[in-house]
Amino acid sequence: MKLSGPPREDIQMKEYRIEKDYLGGRKIPSDAYYGINAVRGRENFNISADKLDPVLIKSMAMVKKACAIANCDSGSNDCSGGDGHSGGLAKGIALVISEACDRIIGGGYNDQFIVNPIQGGGGTSINMNANEVIANLALEILGQNKGEYEIIGPLKHVNMSQSTNDVFPTAVNLTLLSKLKRLLKAIDDAESILLAKSREFDSVIKMGRTHLNAAQPISFGQCFNACALMVTRDRVRIKAAANILRYVPFGGTIVGTGLGASPEYRKSAIEHLRKISGENVRLCSNLADGIQNADVYAALSSALKVCMLNLSKIASDLRLLGSEPQYGLGELQLPPRQIGSSFMPEKVNPVMPELINQVAFMVCGYDLTVSMAAQSGQLELNVFKPVIAYSLFKSIDMMTEAIELFNKYCLTDIKIGKALQPQDAVV
């Protein structure tokens, strides 16, 4: 159901509007959907050009939509009498908030999320930025001016029954679950390619080396199979860590007691979130656990780090085995991707394995950040979840892109090198 009203003649006539909070008033561009809290957050945390992850923005909108519908469900039977303070949300307001959330889920308003992803306040600026954009979108749909929060307010209506402390980690978990699907597909593909290579090279014997010196013969089939099994374990570890993320502290409000949100709301909200997101999310058995502890993120980060360490080991071995035959080993031939030297134009370097090595270095650094942030939470809240989320998003995105490229431009077309052609090999 669309709730659109006629355009107001006085909309956008001014260059700015005035919004006020506890600290005073600020000028907001009249065409901006964000509000005073987002502006303060942008000013306070202006440390880089980084923007909020688009998938996180989409996840926040999904969470807010589920909250609006649940607040309507938990009010009066016809959902028509909620005023933001009596435990229910009016049906008309819930519907227009839902429509605003759908527009954000569609991806058309990412530029209105202006706060830096790394911030003080445990993600409050991200939550408030979302509340303001949704409220002003809803007002626009109704034909009202942005900033007329007595009609639909960021806190009174959009944030009803919520705290940053429960909605932000819930959105983070949804984002991680979404991103991990593509990463796991890339890892599956790497595993399949390595297994295929193990069959292709099963009869090719090379000299096995320990301490970089000759030891005993071994087949390339065994070597590639060993690599595939290592990647299999990585996939299992990451999947196990991801499954724990399905338990979210949704409805726990500030410290996990659920104060300010009814049990009916919590039950309804998680059910609607499952339908909206398509993810089988469930409530934590102890909502306080999901708010104050971050070990699930540290476990995922560790699994990502181990995966990249393993892939970096494979990449380093390929660099050695694929070194040119006259002065190197030459036992594998890596696909040539580009000229490798500005001074020696005929030189071709193993650039794809080197990419994997460097992404591994980055993921190890992000893992240290996640570890320190997870350990540094105090009492009933870990306020460092913004940097945890940022680090995990970066790791997953880089890993996904790098592994997909590694699969396509390196692993798939590896051949036996000139120093060890199949016809010369011991079988």
* Catalytic positions: 341
Sign of CA dihedral 345, 346, 347, 353: positive
Query: Which parts of 48-110 fold into alpha helices (H)?
Result: 54-73, 91-105
In whole angstroms, what is the distance from residue 159 CA to residue 161 CA?
6
- The b/e string for 237-255 (b: 16+ C-beta within 10 A; e otherwise) is bbeebbeebebbbbbbbbb
In whole angstroms, what is the distance from residue 375 CA to residue 378 CA?
9
- Token pair in block for residue 258: 């659920």
Element (H, E) at 361: helix 351-375
110: Cα separation from own chain's centroid: 15
CB atoms within 10 A of CB 303: 21
395: Cα separation from own chain's centroid: 9
In DSSP terms, 210 is beta-bridged to 213
The overall longest dimension of the chain from CA atoms, in Å, is 85
**Phi (first) and psi of residue 353, to 5 degrees:** -60, -35
CB atoms within 10 A of CB 335: 16
